[in-house]
Amino acid sequence: MKRYEKFADDIAELIRSGMLGPGQRVPSVRYASQTYGVSPSTVFQAYYLLERRGLIRARPRSGYFVNTHAPSPFSEPAVSNQVHESTEVDVSELVFSVLESIKDPTTVPFGSAFPSPLLFPLQRLSRSAFPSPLLFPLQRLSRSLSSATRDMDPRVVVTDMSPGNPQLRRQIALRYMVGGLMLPMEELLVTNGALEALNLCLQAVTEPGDLVAIEAPAFYASLQVLERLKLKAVEIPVHPRDGIDLEVLGQTLARHPIKVCWCMTSFQNPMGATMPEARKQALVELLRRHQVPLIEDDVYAELYYGQQAPKPAKAFDTEGLVMHCGSFAKSLAPGYRIGWVAAGRYAQKIERLKLMTSLCASMPAQAAIADYLQHGGYDRHLRKLRYALEEQQSAMRAAIARYFPPQTRVSQPAGGYFLWLELPQQMDSLKLFQMALAQGISIAPGPIFSPTRRFRNCIRLNYGSPWTEVSEKAMETLGRIIRSF
C-alpha cells in the first residue's frame, strides 16, 4: 500500500467512526503534513482519492470537507414535547452556582459560556510564557485602543453619548450591508455587551407579569432577565436543526396574550440549531400577523463554519418589529463589553432606557473597536477563529464517540462553540455537574436552560478552548462518570 493510500484510509476511518462528522473540515494540508509526518503532495494525493470515493469535497479557498451525506455516528437530541403553560422564572441560584464553578482557571471549562482567546490553554503556560500566543487579536486591539484614545476629544463624553460612537455604528452598519441588510444608522444603539441590549429590548416591550415566548431549552441568562423583570415564560420547543417550533409558537400566539418572542435563529445556545432561511421568514411573518415583536439574539452570527453567514430573521422584517442584538464579546474583544441592538421601531424607546440605566457604553472601548474594524483585519481574524472552533468541535465529537455511552445523542451545530448532549434517561446532570466539578471539570447541566427545570439528562459542553491532552483526559473522566450512573 502506498503512503497516500494508507493516509487516505486513516482519514476514511475517522469519517466512518464519526470522529470527523458530515460538513466538518478535514485537517488542512499543512497541518496534516506536519502532524502525520508526510509530504504535502502525499496529503493532496490522499485527499484526491477520498474525493473520488465521495467521502470529502473541496471548497474553493477553504480546504476539504466531509460530505454531508457521510453518516454521522450520533442521533440528534430529541425535541422536548411539553405543555405550553406559562411559568414564573426562578433559576438564578442554580445558574450562579454553575457560573461560580467556571471562575477557577484550573477547572477544565466545558461549562463556560465563553470561547477562550488563547491558542494554548492556561494550564500549559508558565508565567514567563506571557504574553501567550493568542487566538483573539488582543494585542492589535490594544494598539487600536491607544491610537484611538490618544487624541480623543474630551467632548465625546457628551457628543457620543447613546446611541454611541458614530464610527463604530457606521462600521456595524457596513457589516450588515455586506451581509445584504441595509439598516439606517438611527436604528443602531451601542450597549454594554449584548446582554444589556437584550435586557433593554425586553424592558421596552413588557410590564411585570407579561408573558414572553422563549425557547426550550433557552440560554440561561435570558431566563434570569425574565426573572429580574418579573415576567412569565412560555416555553416553545426547539428542534436541533430547525430551531424554534413554528407550529407550537403559532398555537401559543393564538391562545395566550404573548407580549414578545425571544429567540436565537442561528447557532442557538444551547441546542446549536440554525433555522433555515425560509423558516426565519415564516417566523417573522407569523409574529407580524400577531403584531408581536421579536428579540433576536444573534451573538454568534460571525462564528459560522460554512461559506456564508446565515441571514438573520431581521433581514425579513418589513415593519420594524425585530430587535436584532449582536456583540463583539464572542468574536473579538471579550472584556470590552461592547454589543449593540438594531432596534427597528423601538430604537428611540430603547435609547431612552439606556440613557436612564447606564448612560452609554465605554467611550475608549467603542473607539478602539471602531479603529480595529477599520484597520485591524477583522475578517482575517474571524477566518482563523472559525477554523479553530470547527476543528475543536471535531475533536470533542471524536472524544464523545470514544468515551461516552453509545446511546448519547449529540447536536451538530454549523457554528458557535457548544454541543448539546442528551444522555441516557437515568442520567442526572445536576449530580454529574457536582461529580465532574470534584474532578476539576465544569459542565453546564440541562436544568439551567429551562424555567421548568427539564432537560435533566442533558448537558451543554463548550469546545471554545484549544484541544489538548487535558481536554482529552477530562472527556475520558466525564465518560467514566456518566457510565457509572
Ligand X SMILES: Cc1ncc(COP(=O)(O)O)c(C=O)c1O
Applying CB under 6 A, the residues found at the interface with ligand X are: 113, 193-195, 219, 221, 264, 269, 297, 299, 327, 329, 339
| Residue of 78, 88, 8 lying closest to 49 (CA atoms) | 8
Cα gap 459→456, rounded to integer Å: 8
Cα gap 460→455, rounded to integer Å: 10
Q: Specify the residue, 331 or 457, whose C-beta has the smaller distance to ligand X.
A: 331
In the complex, minimum distance from the CB of residue 151 to ligand X, in angstroms, rounded to a whole number: 28
DSSP secondary structure of 56-91: EEEETTTEEEE-TTSPPSSPPPPPPP----EEE---
Q: Residues 267, 300: contact at Cβ < 8 Å? A: yes
Q: Specify the residue, 173 or 329, whose C-beta has the smaller distance to ligand X.
A: 329
- The alpha carbon dihedral of 104, 109, 112, 117 has a sign of positive
Report DSSP state, residue 25: B
CA-angle at 84, arms to 78 and 86, nearest 5°: 130
Q: Specify the residue, 45 or 465, whose C-beta has the smaller distance to ligand X.
A: 465
In the complex, minimum distance from the CB of residue 297 to ligand X, in angstroms, rounded to a whole number: 5
Q: Residues 356, 140: contact at Cβ < 8 Å? A: no
In the complex, minimum distance from the CB of residue 267 to ligand X, in angstroms, rounded to a whole number: 9
Q: Specify the residue, 20 or 361, whose C-beta has the smaller distance to ligand X.
A: 361
CA–CA distances in Å: residue 428 to residues 424, 431, 434, 459, 475: 9, 5, 10, 10, 17
| Residue of 280, 269, 371 lying closest to 330 (CA atoms) | 269
Q: Specify the residue, 173 or 194, whose C-beta has the smaller distance to ligand X.
A: 194
**Residue for grid cell 462528522:** 21
- The alpha carbon dihedral of 135, 433, 232, 263 has a sign of positive
In the complex, minimum distance from the CB of residue 358 to ligand X, in angstroms, rounded to a whole number: 13
Q: Specify the residue, 327 or 392, whose C-beta has the smaller distance to ligand X.
A: 327
Q: Specify the residue, 337 or 456, whose C-beta has the smaller distance to ligand X.
A: 337
In the complex, minimum distance from the CB of residue 339 to ligand X, in angstroms, rounded to a whole number: 4
Cα gap 264→367, rounded to integer Å: 28
In the complex, minimum distance from the CB of residue 41 to ligand X, in angstroms, rounded to a whole number: 43
Q: What residue is closest to ligand X based on CB?
A: 193
In the complex, minimum distance from the CB of residue 98 to ligand X, in angstroms, rounded to a whole number: 12
Q: Specify the residue, 42 or 327, whose C-beta has the smaller distance to ligand X.
A: 327
392 contacts: CB under 8 Å, gap ≥ 6: 417, 463, 464, 465, 466, 467
In the complex, minimum distance from the CB of residue 270 to ligand X, in angstroms, rounded to a whole number: 9
